[in-house]
């Protein structure tokens, strides 16, 4: 109680002090009260001094309090103003950045690129109706087929630019060349140009000399004695000395089932005209070709001394024989199953299958040039056993009569003559113009001789010219940049495997292994930059600047010998079969290798100054195309080591084939000049076009993740995803004569350029999304075909 009373007394004392206080500068009382925190009615009064507090303040205190309050309000207002200004500045910067991003790129490179693309396009065409026309109509209009040519396109245009580079160097003095190989290339080029008129002076004499070595020709005055003639001897001369494929073709290549070794290979061959349809389809166009062929043969025979009527009759017999060969030749579209084509047998077994010649003797004769022996147990891969069996019956029919044997000899000699006719004087070269026009729609008369000679030199001494080309125009950093692009496309291609519900998990894993194992060769083979290695390659080739015909005979023999040297030797999987200046690329299944020569790593396919959208749309798709060839209907039959091998799950194979049927039917429905594309013949290339486009697009999109959208090109109302597709399409801008188109449909494994664009894009949903093509439009059909 005392305690309570004492506390109560203390509170009362404090209350008395509170009410009597002067509220001066001493705030200790208030502080004490607040820290004690006693909850009574008296303490609530403590918080409401009200007007009394202001009244007890001095004038100075009032002024200071007012100023403090005013300054506090000013600070708050300034803070608000600053925040508002900063916000507006930040929004202004964002708007400015957005404005800049929306403005087109106006530097010199962007303006030039945009100009070229716009010139090629036709913006009046609906891209959802015909993307090829949308992308290429302008190019076709501005690039008519040059005189003397049957077709013209971006590939050929770039190729001729490459030839100009080489031409400039080849016109330099011979002592300025860095290697003997390059000097030989210059001499061959000069022999083709015939600057000394040696070809014209010699006339038909080189061919007469060849005919004598062949044993004569019944059509001409060259002595021919049928009683001394044998098919065996003539075939050995034609095939093993002059390298001409007649009746059949043979050579040494990688064994499909054991790609680490070389093996003899033999296949059907022997038709002078490009396709069997030229002989068998009796349409007006094909009859026109056959008539032109007969006229060409007759003109050559007469130029070599034959009587017009007699020559024509004998040439008609040769055409009849070739027509019978065409009948037993299997069409190319039925020869796409690699496993069914492969037949490994011994020479002795081949002899039983086709005994129209002594095969062991034939191959022993061939191997004399490389000093190698052939036994009856020597293995050989036969790709056309049925053809060789039927050929035996056909030849036996002709062998039974003297007239038939003369026809066989006329056929074999003609096969050789036609190979070398273009190496003779102008009347012989002119004789071919009519046939060329019937086949291609152009006689080539207006083609400058230097262009033909550069192309010819490139065909026979391409690696020597490649050394010149690489030295002049190819930049080493292009190799590194191309390697990065290839790997990006490969990664995108592999990632897509997860989306393929038709592929089982085990097959998916080994498919990834194969994709990883594909080697890529970029630019050029290293040996061309080593003078000694380059010279060694052509050491045994003799070339003279004044002997064009003789040079070609030597080259055929040289190539045959180089090929035969590989028999039973291990395979070097780093060798190239395409020369560096070529505007093309390829994939080899037995090497599991893709090659991208320096010739194609240039504008418009690739340029370091281009936006990535254009490089991936053009060169990236080419890379994806070659990569996909390892998984098309033929390439997928080879494993990662390049061996023909059943390495897929059977169910997956069946589902794969079902998907390819869709592709075949899709391209079968495309028509040009009244002729349908052969969807089966073009299947591999169509699969590669579709898979390559898809892989390249996703590689581009993956690379652009977390990157700002590049500025648009001036004058082009397209974003860079859309520009990717335009770049792809413009690679294929081209024009063909009617005849060249018809020949392409019959012979080529590629679809016509227009359908390479339309076919692949119409199957890609990402394209339709980007251009907002409604379902049911031509470029966005409801039914799409997808393999990879």
Any long-range contacts for 22-26 (C-beta under 8 Å, 24+ apart)?
22/56, 23/49, 23/52, 23/53, 23/56
Distance CA 406, CA 229 (A): 9
Pairing of strands 258-268, 379-382: parallel
Distance CA 482, CA 598 (A): 10
Q: Is 148 left (phi over 0), alpha (psi -120 to 50) or beta?
A: left
Are the CB atoms for 101 and 711 separated by under 8 Å?
Answer: yes
Residue labelled with tokens 């001897």: 233
Helices (H), 57-130: 59-102, 108-120
Candidates 229, 216, 233; CA nearest to 357 is 233
Across the beta sheet with 258-268, the strand order is: 248-255, 258-268, 379-382, 343-346
- Tell me if residue 778 falls in helix, strand or coil: coil
Q: Cis omega before residue 604 (within 30°)?
A: yes
Candidates 393, 246, 422, 389; CA nearest to 322 is 246
Distance CA 348, CA 360 (A): 8
Are the CB atoms for 682 and 756 separated by under 8 Å?
Answer: no
- Tell me if residue 690 falls in helix, strand or coil: helix
Are the CB atoms for 730 and 117 separated by under 8 Å?
Answer: yes
Question: Is 197 tagged catalytic?
Answer: no
Sign of CA dihedral 768, 773, 775, 778: negative
Are the CB atoms for 303 and 206 separated by under 8 Å?
Answer: no
Sign of CA dihedral 697, 699, 703, 706: positive
Distance CA 557, CA 368 (A): 13
Are the CB atoms for 602 and 615 separated by under 8 Å?
Answer: no
| H/E stretch holding 254 | strand 248-255
Strands (E) located in 590-641: 593-597
Question: Is 147 tagged catalytic?
Answer: no
Catalytic residue among 122, 130, 364, 689: 689
- Tell me if residue 514 falls in helix, strand or coil: helix
| Size (the chain), residues | 788
In angstroms, the Cα distances linking 775 to 126, 691, 762, 780, 786 are 14, 21, 10, 5, 17
- Tell me if residue 675 falls in helix, strand or coil: strand
Residue labelled with tokens 């081209």: 734
| H/E stretch holding 267 | strand 258-268
Tell me the three-class secondary structure of 420-451, residue by residue. HHHHCCHHHHHHCHHHHHHHHCCCCCCCCHHH
The residues near 634 (Cβ < 8 Å, ≥ 6 apart) are 336, 338, 589, 684
CA 602 remoteness from chain centre? 13
Catalytic residue among 130, 626, 633, 639: 626
Distance CA 286, CA 653 (A): 39
* Tokens at 489, concatenated: 């496309």
- Catalytic residues, by residue number, are 626, 689
């Amino acid at each position: 109680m005392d305690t309570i009373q004492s506390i109560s007394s203390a509170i009362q004392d404090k209350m008395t002090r509170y009410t009597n206080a002067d509220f001066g500068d001493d705030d200790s009382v208030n502080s004490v009260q607040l820290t004690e925190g006693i909850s009574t009615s008296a303490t609530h009064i403590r918080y409401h001094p009200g007007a009394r507090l202001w009244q007890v303040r001095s004038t100075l205190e009032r002024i200071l309090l007012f100023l403090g309050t005013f300054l506090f309000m000013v600070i708050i207002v300034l803070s608000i103003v600053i925040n508002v200004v900063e916000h507006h500045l930040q929004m202004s910067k964002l708007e400015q950045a957005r404005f800049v991003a929306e403005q087109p790129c106006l530097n010199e490179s962007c303006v030039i690129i945009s100009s070229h693309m716009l010139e090629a396009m036709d913006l009046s065409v609906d891209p959802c109706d015909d993307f090829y026309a949308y992308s290429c109509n302008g190019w076709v209009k501005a690039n008519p087929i040059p005189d003397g040519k049957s077709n013209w396109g971006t590939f050929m245009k770039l190729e001729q630019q490459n030839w100009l580079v080489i031409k400039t160097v080849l016109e330099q003095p011979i002592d300025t060349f860095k290697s003997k190989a390059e000097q030989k290339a210059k001499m061959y080029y000069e022999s083709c140009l015939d600057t000394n008129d040696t070809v014209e002076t010699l006339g038909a004499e080189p061919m007469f000399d060849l005919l004598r070595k062949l044993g004569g020709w019944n059509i001409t005055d060259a002595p021919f004695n049928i009683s001394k003639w044998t098919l065996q001897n003539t075939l050995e001369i034609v095939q093993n000395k002059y390298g001409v494929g007649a009746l059949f073709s043979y050579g040494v290549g990688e064994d499909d089932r054991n790609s680490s070794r070389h093996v003899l290979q033999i296949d059907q061959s022997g038709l002078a005209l490009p396709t069997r349809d030229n002989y068998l389809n009796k349409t007006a166009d094909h009859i026109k070709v056959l008539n032109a062929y007969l006229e060409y043969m007759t003109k050559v025979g007469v130029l070599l001394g034959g009587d017009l009527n007699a020559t024509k009759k004998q040439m008609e017999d040769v055409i009849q024989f070739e027509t019978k060969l065409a009948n037993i030749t299997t069409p190319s579209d039925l020869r796409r199953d690699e496993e069914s084509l492969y037949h490994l047998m011994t020479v002795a077994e081949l002899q039983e299958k086709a005994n129209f010649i002594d095969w062991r003797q034939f191959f022993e004769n061939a191997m004399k040039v490389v000093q190698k022996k052939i036994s009856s147990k020597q293995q050989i891969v036969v790709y056309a056993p049925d053809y060789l069996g039927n050929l035996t019956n056909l030849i036996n029919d002709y062998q039974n009569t003297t007239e038939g044997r003369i026809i066989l000899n006329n056929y074999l000699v003609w096969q050789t003559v036609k190979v070398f006719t273009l190496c003779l004087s102008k009347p012989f070269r002119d004789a071919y113009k009519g046939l060329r026009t019937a086949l291609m729609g152009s006689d080539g008369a207006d083609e400058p001789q230097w262009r033909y000679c550069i192309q010819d030199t490139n065909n026979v001494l391409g690696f020597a010219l490649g050394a010149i080309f690489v030295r002049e125009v190819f930049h080493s950093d292009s190799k590194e940049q191309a390697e990065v692009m290839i790997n990006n496309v490969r990664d995108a291609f592999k990632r897509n495997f997860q989306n393929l519900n038709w592929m089982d998990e085990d097959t998916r894993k080994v498919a990834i292994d194969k994709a990883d194992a594909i080697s890529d060769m970029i630019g050029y083979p290293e040996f061309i930059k080593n003078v000694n290695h380059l010279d060694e390659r052509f050491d045994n080739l003799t070339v003279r600047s004044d002997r064009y015909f003789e040079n070609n005979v030597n080259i055929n023999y040289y190539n045959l010998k180089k090929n035969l040297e590989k028999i039973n030797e291990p395979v070097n999987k780093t060798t190239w079969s395409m020369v560096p200046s070529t505007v093309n690329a390829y994939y080899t299944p037995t090497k599991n290798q893709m090659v991208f020569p320096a010739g194609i790593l240039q504008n418009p396919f690739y340029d370091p100054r281009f936006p990535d959208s254009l490089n991936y749309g053009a060169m990236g798709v080419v890379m994806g195309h070659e990569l996909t060839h390892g998984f098309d209907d033929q390439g997928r039959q080879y494993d990662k080591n390049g061996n023909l091998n059943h390495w897929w799950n059977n169910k997956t194979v069946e589902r794969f084939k079902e998907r390819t049927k869709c592709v075949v039917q899709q391209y079968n429905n495309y028509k040009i000049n009244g002729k349908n594309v052969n969807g089966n013949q073009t299947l591999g290339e169509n699969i590669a076009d579709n898979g390559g486009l898809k892989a390249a697009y996703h590689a581009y999109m993956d690379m652009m993740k977390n990157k700002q959208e590049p500025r648009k090109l001036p004058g082009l109302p397209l974003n860079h995803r859309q520009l990717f597709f335009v770049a792809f399409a413009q690679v294929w801008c081209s024009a063909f004569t009617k005849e060249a188109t018809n020949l392409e449909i019959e012979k080529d494994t590629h679809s016509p350029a227009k359908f390479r664009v339309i076919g692949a894009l119409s199957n890609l949903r990402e394209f339709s999304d980007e251009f907002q093509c409604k379902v049911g439009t031509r470029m966005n059909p409801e039914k799409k075909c997808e393999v990879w």
